[in-house]
A = this chain, B = another copy of it.
Amino acid sequence: MFEYKALASQGRARAGIFSTPHGELKTPAFAPVGTQATVKTLTPAQLDELGASLVLSNTYHLYLRPGDELIRTLGGLHAFMQWPRPMLTDSGGFQVFSLAKTRKIDDDGVTFKSHIDGSTHRFTPEKSIQIQENLGADIIMAFDECSDPNDHAYSKIAMERTHRWAERCLTVKTRSDQALFGIIQGGVNPDLRAASAQFIASLPFPGIAIGGLSVGETKDEMHTTIDLITPLLPENKPRYLMGVGTPEDLINGIARGVDIFDCVLPTRLARHNAAFSSEGRLNLMNAAFARDPRPIDETCGCYTCQTFTRAYLRHLIVAKELLAGTLLSIHNLHTMIALVNDMRASIFDGTFESKISFWLDQWQGNAERTKNLSENY
């Protein structure tokens, strides 16, 4: 259990398998985010059709509502949300820092107020593990502290606290059917990142995560940081880049040896009427699409693109029909999952490095690319 096998590689890019109690996770893998025990607007059956392999859910949210004890009583998160394949829960740390109303951090843990009702709560490494054991995901995360990436002094304090907390998490963990991943912190400071990678890699974690990226640093800083870290990590453990990212980020991450990603972007964009397209990001609310008989992306094989026109999607959005969010979520998640599957296949067949420029052509700066909206239909 929890063995990672690299089956093929090209440059630093790896294709492998990570075994979990809910089946083998093929890597590289992109995990849709099901914050509140649901990937927003999608049934598990629809996620399954999308080929989703790993789903992430948020410890902070589930602890507050409906409560981890309730989920444990009902058989754990897999049973509760009826997702039969691998699941991952984060530690709650990042959400406490980004969502909670107020928080006070000390060496033992964090006291915070719920963003839902203002009630006061406290997370410690021990509490985070206890909650995650109640939730019962296959992969659970060490409790960590994310810092302002450019603040060296604070990044050092946060990193050192993260290291002490990592050891406490390993100590209190009891379930053998869960893989606890350690998290590397240190902002965009090379000395701290190197120290953190070496320290976390020295502990008996079956997988290693890179935290504290995609939090405001530049793309160059993100790439330099990953470039520094992955060579310091063991080959026989999966590497998880937390909360990342765009299609472009996935290409750059996989090329640098990352195996697992998660991000809310595909479903969040869907709720804002936006769709990935290899020609540029589309806002389907745009009047230019009112009579457009084409799918979102003519090269896409998803249910939405195989079935519906841009004109129909725009109508649903203008008419405030919730189906729009479902159909755009399907498309955006498919785009990410299909891209990662493409990259995995190309690592096996030896074409990965030759295809990077093709993928980057499609996806680099994709969000900013201006689609020609003046065509008339």
- A residues neighboring B (CB under 8 Å): 36-38, 40-45, 61, 65-66, 70, 73-74, 80-82, 290-291, 293, 303, 307-309, 311-312, 314-316, 318-319, 321-323, 325-327
Q: Is the pair A307, B66 in contact by a Cβ cutoff of 8 Å?
A: no
CA distance A340 to B9 in the complex (A): 57
CA distance A178 to B296 in the complex (A): 31
Q: Is the pair A41, B326 in contact by a Cβ cutoff of 8 Å?
A: yes
Q: Is the pair B38, A303 in contact by a Cβ cutoff of 8 Å?
A: no
A308 smallest CB distance to B (angstroms):
6
Q: A43-B327, A290-B66, A327-B43 are in contact. Are A38 and B321 (CB under 8 A)?
A: yes
Residue of B nearest to A330 (CB): B43
Q: Is the pair B43, A315 in contact by a Cβ cutoff of 8 Å?
A: no
A369 smallest CB distance to B (angstroms):
27
Q: Is the pair B316, A43 in contact by a Cβ cutoff of 8 Å?
A: no
Q: A290-B66, A291-B74, A322-B325 are in contact. Are A315 and B45 (CB under 8 A)?
A: no
Q: Which residues of B contact A309 (CB under 8 A)?
A: 74, 80
Question: Which of the listed residues A42, A74, A307 has the most CB atoms from chain B within 10 Å of its own CB?
Answer: A74
Residue of B nearest to A318 (CB): B65
Residue of B nearest to A41 (CB): B322
Q: Which residues of B contact A315 (CB under 8 A)?
A: 36-37, 65-66, 80
Q: Which residues of B contact A66 (CB under 8 A)?
A: 290, 311, 314-315, 318-319
Q: Which residues of B contact A74 (CB under 8 A)?
A: 291, 293, 309, 311-312
A48 smallest CB distance to B (angstroms):
12
Within 8 Å by CB of A44, from B42, B307, B321, lies: B307
Residue of B nearest to A75 (CB): B293
Q: Which residues of B contact A70 (CB under 8 A)?
A: 290-291, 311
Within 8 Å by CB of A36, from B44, B314, B319, lies: B319
Residue of B nearest to A315 (CB): B66
Q: With A42-B323, A61-B319 given, name 20 new contacts (CB 8 A).
A: A36-B315, A36-B316, A37-B315, A38-B323, A40-B323, A41-B322, A41-B326, A43-B326, A43-B327, A44-B307, A65-B318, A66-B290, A66-B318, A70-B311, A73-B291, A80-B309, A80-B312, A82-B307, A82-B308, A322-B322
Q: Which residues of B contact A36 (CB under 8 A)?
A: 315-316, 319, 321
Q: Is the pair A45, B303 in contact by a Cβ cutoff of 8 Å?
A: yes
Q: Is the pair B321, A40 in contact by a Cβ cutoff of 8 Å?
A: yes
Q: Which 5 A-B pairs have the closest CB atoms?
A: A66-B315, A36-B319, A38-B323, A41-B322, A38-B321
A78 smallest CB distance to B (angstroms):
12
Residue of B nearest to A323 (CB): B38
CA distance A243 to B240 in the complex (A): 54
CA distance A323 to B316 in the complex (A): 17
CA distance A173 to B42 in the complex (A): 42
Q: Which residues of B contact A61 (CB under 8 A)?
A: 319
Q: Which residues of B contact A308 (CB under 8 A)?
A: 82
Q: Which residues of B contact A326 (CB under 8 A)?
A: 41, 43, 326
Residue of B nearest to A82 (CB): B307
CA distance A41 to B320 in the complex (A): 11
A–B Cβ pairs within 8 angstroms, 24 of them: A36-B315, A36-B316, A36-B319, A36-B321, A37-B315, A38-B316, A38-B323, A40-B323, A41-B323, A41-B326, A45-B303, A61-B319, A66-B290, A66-B314, A66-B315, A66-B318, A66-B319, A70-B291, A70-B311, A73-B291, A74-B291, A80-B312, A80-B315, A82-B308
